[in-house]
Structure 1
Amino acid sequence: MNLIKRLAGLLAVAASCSAVAAPLLSEGFNDVAALPADGWAFINNSSPPGSTGWFQGNPAFFAAADGPAGSYVAANFNNAAFGGAVSNWLLTPELLLVNGESLNFSLRLLGEGLLDRVEVYVSSAGASTNVGADFSLLAAFESPAGTGWLDRRLALSGLAAPASGRYAFRYVVDDTSLNGNYVGIDSVSVNAIPEPGTVALVFLGALALVAPRRLRQSRGLWLLAGGLAAGTAAAQAGPDGLMRFPHVQVVSQPAAPAAPGPGGFMAYKDPVTGQLTGPNPEQAALLTAAARAPTPLLRQTPPAPRPAHGGISLMLDERQARYAVVRKAPDGSVHESCEPAPGGLK
């Protein structure tokens, strides 16, 4: 009986691993200057470059989302010279990328009437820092008004197999003479959920280590392990990348309200293949510029001059035109007549 209890406890602990996300990265930005030593990369492709890059958060603008007031990473319009274009990248350390894992972070745009934009990318090319070729856009967030701190979560999907790569944040401003203010990022973490097959192997491996030799005593234990392994293998990954287990109800937390402004996701249609893909930085810039292009105003036609006799004509459609004429007689009386145009309907 003691052996059965121990095995049941061991299997229960192993099963719980399938529902708990294992953190692959956790960064609170207490010391931004130390990030390169931890594998982070800073790439400022702004044109022309300005006087700042990514730097320690300044509590004078706003405090961090969590922890000490200045414990977040920030960027501002001075990433490029006045009138230039900001393209400032912050790359995470190299990580294991698997379907179902999530990138979580807190983002704040200061705004104050000046458009700020932060884009999020992913690359499965190992430790590559080639942001022009190896990174694909996951999401973009922009606003001309202050957003406050908003918690964001992006689920990874579409990988053919687990890979090694990086996530990246990019601060974007088209023209610093017109837009760009100050942005902050805090509490970045990457969490992965173990594959169901891995958990099943843990069940069977644990049982093999301690199973009794006599078949009669072990029959119930094998049934217990087989049932748990089968239940784990029956789990399905939902469209959001989270695992769904039989007889388990999953309640999703409502998403945080979207930041004001256009924002949203982008997709690029390849003109040759017709396939939709995540745009590279240059394509994303073209899409953004097209979306912000002002809509041409319609030229209004001036009203027709009033006839000398005082009548006003109103065109109803191509089949009918009716007009009313009011005449004032010498005795002061007013007379009105309504006449159809030639060929019109009565």
Structure 2
Amino acid sequence: MDLTKCLAGLLVAAASCSAVGAPLLTEGFNNVAALPANGWVFLNNSAPPGSTGWFQGQPAFFPAAAGPADSYIAANFNNAAFGGEVSNWLLTPQVVLVNGESLNFSLRLLGEGLLDRVEVYFSDSGASTDVSGDFSFLASFASDVDTGWQDQTLLISGLTAPASGRFGFRYVVDDTSLNGNYIGIDSVSINALPEPATIALVCLGALALRQRKRIRRHWLAAAGLGSLAFAAQAAPQNDGIMTFPHVQVVRQPAPAASPQQGGFMAYKDPVTGQLTNPNAEQAALLTASARTVAPIARQAPPQVARARHGGVSLKLDDRQARYAIARKAADGSITETCEPKPGEQQ
């Protein structure tokens, strides 16, 4: 038998089978209505519940990350009634979980000035849907602007033994009168961990093929010992995450703070309301106030109204309309533009 051909076949078979972890679950959301029949769970715990739950993606908002334009799952602020709190869960089918397995998905938060947030959890309690007790937090993604589609990967760690369970996606909005717009999830997959024995087998085959003209029994023995040593170094740590030799993780230092930019000081007369050059006493007062930590004042939020078609309007008071601009002339004098008065428009 040709030993080279045998090793080549062994290498191809090992690499194609389990050197790359086979997906335990893949879902492209071509038919959201069929998900419950395939083991997915919809659980809308919003208070009070609204008019929508999880639904087929709407290309009018944005197309899918992959596949047909509507092939993603979506949720929006109408998961809760106006002024309510959204807590809408999407649970994957039950799978066997071990440390090092990965959850991969594409996520898009529309935002548009309204805060959207998606949290990800996992449970090692079998088919349980008790999201208040059996699910552990993994990560959170939030934005008040359109993020575009972003690919995310999360790893499982901390399990003491293989366990059966689920992953959970949770759409969260604290107050739908102020926040919440529209989010989409696409291309979900759960990928198995490659077996260390298979990694060692692939390495052995590759080394043997590279030296196919000089194969001897003593060489094969040495190659076998070398790949076993590699497998030992590539074995999972106590928490199950794979590590490999010749890899060093370096924590980058935080960037140094940028130097303060130049500027000038202006004093606003409390009687006339005009900005002027401060005298020595006024400059001292301004310097002292700048160094004092101002308390955070809690102000009433602006009034928000939502149209039936999804538009949002804000009624702003004078705090959002008043401002002043000071300019320093070449002679050192300070001039001020007129600030709007209450009721005036800019």
- TM above 0.5, yes or no, is yes
- The interval holding the TM-score normalised by the smaller chain is 0.5 to 0.7
Corresponding position of 2:165: 165
**Which residue number in structure 2 is paired with residue 181 of structure 1?**
181
CA distance in 1, matches of 2:240, 2:62: 34
Is 1:235 aligned to residue 231 of structure 2? no
Contact kept? 2:46, 2:84, Cα under 8 Å? yes
CA displacement 1:212-256 (0-9 Å, x = unmatched):
xxxxx9776565545434432331458997634447x799xxxxx
Q: Identify if the C-alpha distance between structure 1 residues 240 and 68 changes in structure 2 by more than 3 Å, giving closer, same or farther.
A: farther
Alpha-carbon distance, 1:184 to partner: 0.4
Question: Residue 117 of structure 1 contacts residue 171 of structure 1 at CA under 8 Å; is this kept in 2?
Answer: yes
Instruction: Specify the alignment match of 2:92 in structure 1.
Output: 92
1:94-109 matched pairs, under 5 angstroms: 94-109=94-109
1:158, CA displacement in angstroms? 1.4
Q: Distance in 2 between matches of 1:142 and 1:117?
A: 4
Distance, in Å, in 2 between the alignment partners of 1:240 and 1:16 is 27
Instruction: State how 1:1-346 maps to structure 2 within 5 Å.
Output: 2-3=2-3, 5-7=5-7, 9-11=9-11, 13-14=13-14, 19-197=19-197, 224-237=223-236, 243-246=242-245
Report the residue type matching 1:235 in the other structure. A
One-letter identity of the residue aligned with 1:153: T
Aligned mates of 1:312, 1:109 — CA distance in 2: 51
Q: Which one has the bigger strand percentage?
A: 1
Q: What per-residue deviation string (whole Å, max 9, x for no partner) do you get for residues 5-59 of structure 1?
A: 4145315642675641321111100000010111100000011111110000011
Cα deviations across residues 309-338 of structure 1 (Å, max 9, x unaligned)? xx9696999xxxxxxxxxxxxxxxxxxxxx
Cα 1:77/1:47, change in 2 over 3 Å: same
Deviations 1:167-210 (A, max 9, x none): 00000111111111110000111112223146669999xxxxxx
Q: Rg bigger for which structure?
A: 1
Instruction: Give how far 1:63 is off.
Output: 0.4
Give the corresponding residue for 2:253: none
The offset of 1:143, in angstroms, is 1.0
RMSD: 3.5
Q: Is the 8 A contact 1:91 1:167 kept in 2?
A: yes
- CA displacement at 1:161 relative to structure 2: 1.5
Gap runs ≥5 in structure 2: 205-215, 250-269, 272-279, 289-346
Q: In the alignment, is the contact (CA less than 8 A) between 2:18 and 2:195 conserved in 1?
A: yes
Whole-angstrom CA distance in 2 between matches of 1:77 and 1:19: 43
Q: 1:146 to 1:8 in 2, by over 3 A?
A: closer
- 8 Å Cα contact 2:157/2:241 also seen in 1: no
Tell me, in whole angstroms, the C-alpha distance in 2 between the residues paired with 1:7 and 1:240. 33
Look up the equivalent residue of 2:161 and give its one-letter code. A
Other structure's SS at 2:186 match: strand
Query: Contact (CA 8 Å) 1:197, 1:233: kept in 2 or not?
Result: no
Q: Distance in 1 between matches of 2:202 and 2:127?
A: 31
Matched letter for residue 20 of structure 2: V
The alignment of Structure 1 onto Structure 2 pairs a total of residues equal to: 247
- 3-state SS in 2 of match to 1:93: coil
Distance 1:33 1:250 in 2: 46
Change (3 A) 1:240 1:103: farther
Deviation string for 1:60-114 (max 9, x for gaps)? 1110011000000000111111111110000000111111111111111111111
Structure 2 Cα separation of the partners of residues 89 and 192 of structure 1: 24
Tell me the percent identity: 69
**CA deviations over 1:249-281 (Å, ceiling 9, x no partner):** 799xxxxxxxxxxxxxxxxxxxxxxxxxxxxxx
Asked if the contact 1:65–1:106 (Cα under 8 Å) also holds between the matched residues in 2, the reply is yes
Mapped to 1, the partners of 2:241 and 2:66 lie a distance apart of 26
Separation in 2 of the partners of 1:109 and 1:27?
19
| Secondary structure in structure 2 of the residue aligned to 1:243 | coil
- Once the two structures are overlaid, the 10-residue window that deviates more, 6-15 or 107-116, is 6-15
3-state SS of 1:37 partner: helix
Task: Tell me the amino acid that sits aligned with residue 133 of structure 2.
Answer: A
CA 250–97 in structure 1, closer or farther in 2 if over 3 Å, else same:
farther
Instruction: Give the letter for the 1:191 counterpart.
Output: N
> Separation in 1 of the partners of 2:169 and 2:133?
15
> What TM-score, normalized to structure 1?
0.62
